[in-house]
């Protein structure tokens, strides 16, 4: 079956208010509605509402980089799904390797975030990926299987309609080293086979699986041409409109 592609920009902890609005507008101004392609940007929390206002009425979607699994409460510094929706976000990134390895988020917390976000009406970009040591020890598939089962525990087939998987090998994030097209395709095909075991072939064939990890204009077309690569989660290259738009164009075929 033909799947849409999703190109999402993860701005991480970059941009100030004016620059965020300018970047979002520059991207939105170049987008035309395409039923086969979704494009999103995920600014830092403080800029979500202003970016959403700038891109309102355009095809550009807005996401957040994290969330807390509660409706409200005494959780100093945290942001609830309902707040993100109210600010104009429709997607949220959960389980990014920087949150797993730098912020030390546990599998159980990540799973709570996934389930609560879906129940609140957010679409989830769920990140998985192995470290260099794990790849060198031939543990890639075992790591991906474990992260899929732990992160998606309690998510049913209907819930998977609002889940995007982002395969991001940790050794390729921000390093300038990206997986070869063969490595990316093999990992994506494995992820789809695991989804089929859990949810059945129909669900597995419908789920979008993005690649992330040093995606740039010069490697995007080859990566996105792979049969099981359904888009990209873009880091550094999403901070400049021209490079991000070049990746968007590569997804158009």
Calculate what percentage of the chain has a pLDDT beyond 90.
Answer: 94
> Would the pLDDT of 178 be above 80?
no
> Would the pLDDT of 238 be above 70?
yes
pTM over 0.75: yes
Residue ranges of the annotated binding site are 10-12, 174, 214, 235-236
Residue ranges of the annotated binding site for substrate are 10-12, 174, 214, 235-236
The full DSSP string for 213-250 is SS--HHHHHHHHTSTT--EEEESGGGGSHHHHHHHHHH
Q: What is the mean pLDDT of the segment spanning 103-111?
A: 98
- Confidence bin at 174 (pLDDT 50/70/90): confident
- Confidence bin at 1 (pLDDT 50/70/90): low
pLDDT tens digits for range 15-48:
999 999 999 999 999 999 999 999 999 999 999 9
Q: What is the mean pLDDT of the segment spanning 136-152?
A: 97
b/e per residue 217-233 (b: at least 16 CB within 10 A): bebbbebbebebbbbbb
- The pLDDT of residue 176 is 79
Q: What is the mean pLDDT of the segment spanning 141-165?
A: 98
Q: Give the CATH number for residue 40.
A: 3.20.20.70
> Would the pLDDT of 253 be above 90?
no
Domain count within the chain: 1
- 195 contacts 228 by C-beta, under 8 angstroms: no
Q: What tokens does 195 get?
A: 């989804």
Question: How many other C-beta atoms can be found within 10 angstroms of the C-beta atom of residue 186?
Answer: 16
What DSSP state is assigned to residue 129?
A: -
Q: What is the mean pLDDT of the segment spanning 77-95?
A: 98
- The pLDDT of residue 147 is 98
> For the chain, what is the mean pLDDT?
96
> Would the pLDDT of 212 be above 70?
yes
> Would the pLDDT of 64 be above 80?
yes
- Count Cα atoms within 13 angstroms, Cβ side, for 44: 11
Range of the domain at 167: 5-251
Active site (catalytic) residues: 96, 168
């Amino acid at each position: 079956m033909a799947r849409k592609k999703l190109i999402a920009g993860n701005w991480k902890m970059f941009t100030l208010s004016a620059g965020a609005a300018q970047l979002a507008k520059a991207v939105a101004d170049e987008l035309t509605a395409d039923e086969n392609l979704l494009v999103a940007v995920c600014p830092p929390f403080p800029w979500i509402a202003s970016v959403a206002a700038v891109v309102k009425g355009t095809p550009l979607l807005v996401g957040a980089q994290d969330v807390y699994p509660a409706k409200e409460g005494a959780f100093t510094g945290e942001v609830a799904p309902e707040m993100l929706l109210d600010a104009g976000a429709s997607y949220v990134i959960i389980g990014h390797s920087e949150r797993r390895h730098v912020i030390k988020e546990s599998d159980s917390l990540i799973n709570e975030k996934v389930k609560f976000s879906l129940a609140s009406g957010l679409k989830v970009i769920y990140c998985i990926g192995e470290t260099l040591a794990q790849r060198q020890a031939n543990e890639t598939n075992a790591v991906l299987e474990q992260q899929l089962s732990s992160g998606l525990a309690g998510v049913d087939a209907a819930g998977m309609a609002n889940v995007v998987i982002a395969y991001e090998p940790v050794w390729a994030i921000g390093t300038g080293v990206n997986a070869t097209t063969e490595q990316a395709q093999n990992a994506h095909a494995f992820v789809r086979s695991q989804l089929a075991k859990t949810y059945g072939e129909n669900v597995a064939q419908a789920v979008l699986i993005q690649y992330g990890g040093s995606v740039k204009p010069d490697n995007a077309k080859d990566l996105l041409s792979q049969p099981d690569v359904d888009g990209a989660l873009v880091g550094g290259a999403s901070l400049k409109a021209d490079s991000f738009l070049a990746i968007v164009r590569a997804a158009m075929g």
